[in-house]
Amino acid sequence: MKDINPQAEDGHTDIANEIMEALAKIRISGEARQVLDLILRKTYGWHKKWDKISLSQFTSGTGLKKSTICKALNKLIFMNLIITKKDNEGISKYMFNKHYDKWKPLPKKITLPKKEISITQKGNESLPKKRHTKETIQKKLLQKKYSLQNLFSKIESKFTEEELKHKQEFLDYWKEKSEGGLEERWQCQKFFDVSRRFRTWLKNRGKWGINAPKEKPKTDSAVIKEYNKKQEKL
């Protein structure tokens, strides 16, 4: 196996000594520091001030979960260590804030502004684990084991011939692949009661027209916004 022996001439990130000294004096939790290091690599490492960085890039670059990355980004924004904005396509761009006189250290316990999460000094605490009942676990297993077509066939007898004329459009909509292409739309739902969903579909067809409206793929900013809303309810 080849020895790991990084060399500056093979590529390096230029950071002023003054910035490194300022970073050494401010407490940044582990996950937030990982995210900050990746932002520095993607910007200063490529001699850029701004860079578009998706949540998937943060995930692959740090090994952290998306929820942890959202938490870390909120923390860095609150501390004025990074600046973020969206481009015309709604994609988030990030910049390291080199003006360390504007940085804000975190107190022992704070509540971030509305739409952001609460954090404690223990920045590496994991998010509360959701408790799954036997029923919810069984439903999740069903979603992975069976295709939507098979599940629908088990409840077809509950519907009239006229109602079943709309079966295919219902299946086409819910079988559409998610943005990552790994799961179908219905598999991304927390729960999916096929019978109840189809009844709702039939009820709302008149409002939607022939086909249900296409959902736009969620952008990274939408994922972060959704995460923050969930945290407000905790």
Q: What is the CATH number of the domain that holds 51?
A: 1.10.10.10
- Residue 174: CB atoms within 10 Å: 21
pLDDT tens for 38-50 read 999 999 988 899 9
pLDDT score, position 94 = 94
Residue 143 sits in the same domain as residue 188: yes
Calpha distance 130→107 (Å, rounded): 28
Residues 22 and 112 in one domain: yes
Is the domain of 146 the same as that of 197? Answer: yes
pLDDT of residue 175: 84
Examine the pLDDT at 122 and tell me if it is beyond 50. Answer: no
- Enclosing domain of residue 183: 134-217
Q: Which helix (H) or strand (E) holds 119?
A: strand 118-120
Same domain, 91 and 159: no
pLDDT on residue 90: 75
Q: Are residues 20 and 118 in the same domain?
A: yes
Q: Is there a single domain that holds both residue 172 and residue 199?
A: yes
- Amino acid 233: pLDDT: 63
Contact of 144 with 187, CB cutoff 8 Å? yes
For the entire predicted model, the pTM comes to: 0.48
Q: Say yes or no: 120 and 161 in one domain.
A: no
H/E stretch holding 93: strand 92-96
Q: What is the pLDDT of residue 76?
A: 92
Question: Has residue 111 got a pLDDT over 80?
Answer: no
Confidence band of 29 (pLDDT split at 50, 70, 90)? confident
Predicted confidence band of residue 119 (pLDDT cuts 50, 70, 90): very low
3 contacts 28 by C-beta, under 8 angstroms? no
Report which residue type is found at 63. G
